[in-house]
A and B are shown apart, each in its own frame.
Chain A
């Protein structure tokens, strides 16, 4: 592997490229799959990913290939140069500056097939026993090992060896002709010590799925409170940062937050960080795709915007500071109320288990279906709902946060609480 990388670097040097970066990643995956309760497949895959970016006369070209033979590498370098030669000039194309060479290692490097089988078998036995109405759809337990190099012409050299397990399961409930919405969850882990059902929100969501056999459509419309569950909040956070903080809207100049660095953009109850190098993250990362050693970064501290999520290019293009990482591995600081206390203070609202909706509009407007959700009235959960929509504005929802829960869910790729906010339109049939 190192020999292929060295050959690639030598080829790039011989071409007298002004600036280049090169990453070579070898990924091995071992995966056990269930369809329903049946083991259907064991899958082992190997993949090479050689990514080359060249900047010649401030023109840029990038190519990704998986052939590592010498002919393939020469072809890839030539192709990257051809792409660059047809590119327009841009003074903001660049590569990362010199940094100290580092090697990062994390997690198990080899799978334990016997233990994987044992855990998955236990899952197929526990689920029908504890939740007879549950219909498992697809479930997969996998081990992934990635060995990667990142090198550039400024002398940057990083090496990473990273392994982890991850599990995901999709399910619904069915009794007679009653069928529930599907739901899903998962987690990443550095070991296989704990039973699958004991991790993240699996047991909670399976319980809720069965409860939804009695779901009913909500009638009417109101503007009120929503409690967003950790599974739902994790996906909404991506919408939030991509709409307001990332390269695309910032370069386009359409992010409503573009001039708000250091200003209040959310409730002071919200402290949001991205922590890919935290030891607690089984599925973190150590090197950004533009060649920087990743660091944990606070994006919003007590409601104040502390960092955008700009890449090197986005930073140069907008004249704003580059983010210390590329997002993900979100951590929200806990509040001091339990979920039960949060529910008890809702006059009329919804506990939103899953949001099925499009990406927010550039201004943050969103609307979608509240799936796997419950209607709350006078501080109590009344019933699970179907066919209920929520609509609001992402910026307003995070500005209107009333509470963040004390309990948080560890997904191995994020540490997420429940969030109570208000001002969201809930409409039923």
Chain B
């Protein structure tokens, strides 16, 4: 439940104020070994206000949406407390006044809880019946709806509903008493009815995953050291997000990120272009389409690297003023009680001209790395990603699967060493990025060929 008409409260604004009403709704169903270990719904709704006073911000929130007056008063009191002590004397921001209503919810008839449960069970039953030799299996469905309204005292207004629905499927088998595991993700932006039509659509994904599992169970430890690798699109996406994206968030640049030294300089191979898309790519909605951010700024695409040159940073209002730049619409908050922070939206390396098979064929001794587990990066752009699915490349051909490992490197070096970029593009919408708050993000990319440090034993 959110308050659709926030304009009724505009007379309560005394200073620059952002008023947001939001509800996040979650459905989570998980089967582990055929046991229903999770069958949960969450709904978190409330209202928040953020008030600006002379350079200081005050924020307050409450789940009781009848207390709009009180929450504005408390946010104001917090801003005034800080301003009275810090006295930064900063002026107001340039007004932004976009008015946008976007709804990515389904127009189809909503399925019942039972229909969704039966769908999930059918996916689990398929695995149990077809692959009885597994030591373990899990099927998890996560659906998230983020619905909000935002009004600023400058007159910016937003209504948005952004949903996503995702299945995560994991399979394990024992090999010499050691469990070996693979997983895959299906789904993306949209409510369940728009993303999944019938369980059978997921069966080819499961069959392919099982084939990978069998190969991985015979897998070998990769050889540690710097190797030529083809990073498949999911890895390119996480590289774009974790290793480059975070260093180009303007608050990280202020905090000493290495990207501060690279602006307008050659930071990557000329084959590499990288952007944080606001809401659309090639005329299609991105995984997490942001039209207006949580400060009321109209969201724009940010070209971070263009043909190897680092061209810009992602901004909120505060950092834009610091860098004498325009806010880019990257200020995002996950729940009603979170303040907006500079966050990525849909970060991707742009496609090139090579074919994946040619990229693999061009490597004599290296690896084709397909599935990441997680990733972390640093102010230096040094990063690490867990790799849970990959193959050796020997003499231009795929070889044995590899066991779980980790790759690492300095992202700007890794991107300098990119020699081929594939001509396709895949988006992933399953990620939750952590930076004080968790928030859903989109990542995308083609496959890239580069040199990378791979862990081993």
Contacts and interface: CB of A to CB of B under 8 A. Distances in A.
A357 B386 contact: yes
Interface of B: 1, 32-33, 35-46, 48, 56-63, 74, 78-79, 81-82, 85-86, 88, 112-114, 117-118, 121, 135-136, 138, 172, 174, 177-181, 224-226, 251-252, 254-258, 261, 318, 337, 339, 373-374, 376, 378-380, 382, 384-386, 388, 403-406, 408-410, 436, 453, 455-457
Given A39-B56, A427-B224, A181 B33 contact: no
Interface of A: 35-36, 38-48, 60-68, 79-80, 82-88, 90, 92, 113, 117, 135-138, 140, 170-174, 177, 179-182, 221, 247-248, 251-254, 256, 313, 317, 356-359, 361-363, 365, 367-369, 371, 386-387, 389, 391-392, 425, 427, 429
Nearest to A133: B256
Given A63-B40, A67-B43, A251-B33, A40 B380 contact: no
Nearest to B63: A66
Contacts of A252: 32-33, 135-136, 138, 172
B379 A172 contact: yes
B386 A44 contact: no
Contact of A254 (B121, B172, B376): B172
6 contacts: A45-B62, A67-B43, A181-B379, A254-B172, A367-B457, A389-B455
A132 to B, nearest CB: 13
Contacts of B61: 44-47
A180 B172 contact: no
B78 A43 contact: yes
Given A66-B63, A82-B113, A85-B114, A181 B35 contact: no
A87 B378 contact: no
A256 B172 CA distance: 14
A79 B406 CA distance: 42
A83 to B, nearest CB: 5
A42 B59 contact: yes
Nearest to B376: A356
B52 to A, nearest CB: 10
A253 B382 contact: no
B408 A369 contact: yes
B169 to A, nearest CB: 14
B386 A174 contact: no
Contacts of A254: 135-136, 172, 174, 179, 181
A174 B258 CA distance: 9
Nearest to A255: B179
Contact of A429 (B113, B378, B388, B453): B453
Contact of A425 (B59, B172, B224): B224
Nearest to B81: A42
Contacts of B85: 39, 117
B59 A44 contact: yes
Contacts of B81: 42, 113
Contacts of B56: 39-42
Contacts of B57: 40-42
A62 B379 CA distance: 41
A356 B384 contact: yes
Q: List the 7 shortest-distance A-B pairs measured between CB atoms, nearest first.
A: A358-B386, A135-B256, A137-B255, A367-B455, A42-B78, A252-B136, A362-B179
